[in-house]
Amino acid sequence: MASRAVIRLHPLFSIPYLLLLLPACATARRDEPLAGPMPLSDPKLVAGQQVFMRNCHQCHPGGAAGLGPAINNKPLPAFAIKAQVRKGVGAMPAFDDGRIPDADLDNLTAYLQTLRKQDGD
């Protein structure tokens, strides 16, 4: 009796399991990880990643410490990231809106905040 119950329940468990598994696989394959294995499905984040690779990656490789400190391991609010980029601090140059337009800065900020979440703090 117990084994019949298990057989009848089996398809109910496997369908949600497959539904969970499929999108996870698809996302991982579709995107090019440039800064580690981070699947980016949002075009805003992909754009932000491109801004990051052009302007920030050389000093904060993949968001980690390089010439500059790690920026993927601390809860920096959006306004603080934006102020840092616009004004520059210490050895970090300032980026005006000629180099990084406001829309790009928004995408970059969203990307950095996602990078931080992926890092698991």
3-state secondary structure (DSSP) of residue 91: coil
> Is residue 38 involved in binding ligand HEC (CB under 6 A)?
no
Q: How many CB atoms lie within 10 A of CB 111?
A: 27
Question: What percent helix, strand, coil does the chain show, rounded to 5?
Answer: 60, 0, 40
> Is residue 55 involved in binding ligand HEC (CB under 6 A)?
yes
Among 48, 49, 60, 110, binds ligand HEC (CB under 6 A): 60
3-state secondary structure (DSSP) of residue 120: coil
> Is residue 92 involved in binding ligand HEC (CB under 6 A)?
yes
Among 89, 96, 101, 103, binds ligand HEC (CB under 6 A): 89
> Is residue 35 involved in binding ligand HEC (CB under 6 A)?
no
From residue 47, alpha-carbon distances to 14, 39, 69, 87 in Å are 37, 13, 23, 22
In angstroms, give the least distance from the CB of 33 to ligand HEC.
19
Which residues sit at the interface with ligand HEC, rule CB under 6 A?
A: 55-56, 58-60, 67-69, 71, 76, 81, 84-85, 89-93, 95, 108, 112
